[in-house]
Amino acid sequence: MHATVTTFALLGVEACEVQVEVDLRSGLPSFAIVGLPDAAVRESRERVRAALGNAGFEFPQRRITVNLAPANLPKAGPGYDLAIAAGVLAAQGKLAPEAVAGVGLAGEVALDGAVRPIPGALPMALRACRNGLRLLGVPVANAKEAALALAAGANGDTPRPLPALRVAGLEHLRQLESLESADGLRGVPTPVLEAPRPGDGLDLADVRGQEALRRALEVAAAGGHSLLMVGPPGVGKSMAARRLPSILPPLEPEDAIEALAVASACGEAPPLDRARLRPYRAPHHTISGAGLVGGGTPPRPGELTRAHRGLLFLDELPEFSRDVLEALRQPLEDGRIVIARARHSVTLPCRTMLVAAANPCPCGGAEGEEECECPPGAVRRYRARISGPLADRVDITAEVGSPTAAELAAGPGEPSATVRARVEAARERQALRLGRGRCNAEASAREIRRDAGLDADAKQLLALGKERFALSGRGYDRVLRIARTIADLGGGERVEADDLTEALTLRSRDGE
């Protein structure tokens, strides 16, 4: 006898439909799984055998062949257990063919028949929507997460409910018998992504003094610009970076679904009351290239993708491996990573705001000052760890000095809520020009030149700035993007000379 059940494979952060074909034949009892399974999938034979027996089902003493189609697609992880178990029951005649038609199942099974959570439930549900399935059965711990796909739309574009698909949570294999009834498994309601409540309590008011740094943070947040903070230890670089998310606007529901799909694929989906908070990732400088930008077999997302639609903070930037940093160059430009392998390639999203911090020299002091103990040439070699092409892709550089005793003793600075209101107003102006979810850092050169509206004086100032700071073509356009953001913060319709002057100051490096 033969039966087919639908399940899903994760490729990066996307899910692909997989058909679990189960064939029962007379012969010596055996259980074979084919279709490029990894070790975890092959071990499903023992889990499913024990789970069905302990759940009260009779395990067939026949020759069982399970094919995971398409056969040329690598299969990894224990998420195929539930579909394989259902396929064995259907092939035995314990489940009618129409009961599993149009049904997707994904989950790991325990030896006692319990259904355990798996990564990637939301991408699987999005794929089930696109492919027109009527029911998706996932572990009960993943049910609310997967049900978010009902509000995301079949193409993940405009949110709209899809009543054709129901998402059901399973706790035990015994619930598969409910597929035979008219009502089937009970679907969970569609969650609502509400506005986030304050999370960890970090506030920009804690950054005292440092007016230039606070302004750089505000401009970076308003336009989605990358930022590098350079200063001696203890001046507040890391503290400021941790508070930068508090002035960023919450994610729109569509963008939140994108970020949640990435987190779901990594097994790190946050609680729904924090789903619209932007991701914040801060990997250690010993991270590998695959850990930062993704890789492995099959390819998995790295920290850059896990920070999609959020913020990636790289502290002690020159301490990262040069090869690791160089791997950031193209993804920062394109907003995506393509990982190519011999059998297939995976595209990972990474619309990420990069924030980094560095000391001015290896010892942490400033070059030329008495406290700097670095030998001659050490500062130059230290700064050379950040290559010119990578540095050119960083929009804003903020030189951070030590605050004075009076500034530290003064009251708190402007709170995050006040700054965030200005940032959100600037983002709304950008959305009207560029489209929903886009900011100035993502604008093309043509769009930013069109929207700048430079007069003759502003064009002359920009030309002088290009010569003074030796701007590359990329740097020229990025100065325009920063200036456009400054104008948006001020409510200006066009970029004025003062906006360009501040943008050139924020773009300059090494005190130029």
- The gap from C-alpha 90 to its chain's centroid, in whole angstroms, comes to 38
Question: How many other CB atoms are found less than 10 A from the CB of residue 449?
Answer: 15
Peptide bond into 70 cis (omega under 30): yes
User: Which of residues 458 and 308 earns the better pLDDT score?
Assistant: 308
Q: Is the pLDDT of residue 111 over 70?
A: yes
* CA atoms of 236 and 206, how far apart (whole Å): 10
Q: What is the reported pLDDT for 509? A: 64
Q: Where does 373-493 have alpha helices with state H?
A: 378-383, 388-392, 405-409, 416-434, 445-452, 456-469, 473-490
Confirm if 495 and 453 have CB atoms less than 8 A apart: yes
Tell me whether the CATH fold assigned to 204-413 matches the one assigned to 443-512.
no
Among 123, 122, 37, residue whose Cα is nearest residue 81: 37
Tokens describing residue 115: 């259904």
Dig out the tokens for 503 from the structure: 């943008």
| Residue listed under structure tokens 């008495």 | 370
CB 423 within 8 A of CB 247: yes
pTM here is 0.89
pLDDT (tens digit, 9 = 90+) per residue, 412-431?
888 999 999 999 999 999 99
Calpha distance 261→280 (Å, rounded): 15
User: How buried is residue 501: exposed, middle or buried, by Cβ count under 10 Å (0-12/13-18/19+)?
Assistant: middle
Distances (CA, A) of 467 to 293, 395, 464: 35, 18, 5
Ramachandran angles phi, psi of 420, nearest 5°: -65, -35
C-beta of residue 106 within 8 angstroms of C-beta of residue 82: yes
Architecture of domain 443-512: Orthogonal Bundle (1.10)
Q: What is the CATH number of domain 2-180?
A: 3.30.230.10
Higher-confidence position of 391 and 160: 391
pLDDT in tens, 225-248: 999 999 988 888 999 999 999 999
pLDDT digits (tens, 9 = 90+) for 51-86: 999 999 999 999 999 999 999 898 999 999 999 999
Average pLDDT over residues 126-135: 93
Cα separation, 289 vs 278, whole angstroms: 23
The alpha carbon of residue 440 and the mean position of all alpha carbons in its chain are separated, in whole angstroms, by: 20
Evaluate whether 91 touches 2 at the Cβ level (below 8 Å). Answer: yes
pLDDT surpassing 70 at residue 460: yes
pLDDT at 199: 54
| Domain range summary for the chain, segments of one domain joined by + | 2-180, 204-413, 443-512
Q: Which residues of 155-169 are buried (b: 16+ CB within 10 A; e: fewer)?
A: eeeeeeebeebbbbb
Which phi and psi (to 5°) does residue 432 adopt? -65, -35
C-beta separation of 264 from 308 below 8 A: no
Q: What is the pLDDT of residues 185-195, one digit of tens each?
A: 888 888 888 77
Judge whether 218 and 419 are in contact, CB under 8 Å.
yes
Fold type of domain 204-413: Rossmann fold (3.40.50)
